[in-house]
Amino acid sequence: MSNTVTEIVTMKCSDGISKEDFIKIIDNLECQFHSKQDGFMDTELLYDGKENSWIMIQHWTSAERMKAASKKMFQDPATEQFRSSIDPKQVKISVYPILGTWCSNEVGA
């Protein structure tokens, strides 16, 4: 069985940050921080217009590597803009083990 995990982070932006600006902030976060972390696999960013919230789905090779990256996140200068752009009271993090994955035969064809 795989040790890979999915981390789902639900969050809201601080007041005054547009959707376009937040997407740029996330792009910077992924390019300058997450993509350089040991065990990082990928990220998806979603927007819930009804709740005015963002959902970030990340895959990691292990919970331990995800936790190590999360710890670094609060110290790394590359994450400062992201950290200041979200409302910390509106962040919810859930982590789940990946038990299986399936994809369309059309993917990669």
Q: What is the mean pLDDT of residues 77-105?
A: 94
Query: Which residue segments constitute the domains of the chain, with CATH numbers given?
Result: 16-97 (3.30.70.100)
Residue 109, pLDDT score = 56
Whether the predicted pLDDT of 1 surpasses 70: no
What residues pair up with 94 in beta bridges, in sequence order? 8
Nearest 10 degrees: Cα torsion 24, 29, 30, 31 = 80
Residue 6, pLDDT score = 98
What is the model's pTM? 0.89
pLDDT digits (tens, 9 = 90+) for 10-49: 999 999 999 999 999 999 999 999 999 999 999 999 999 9
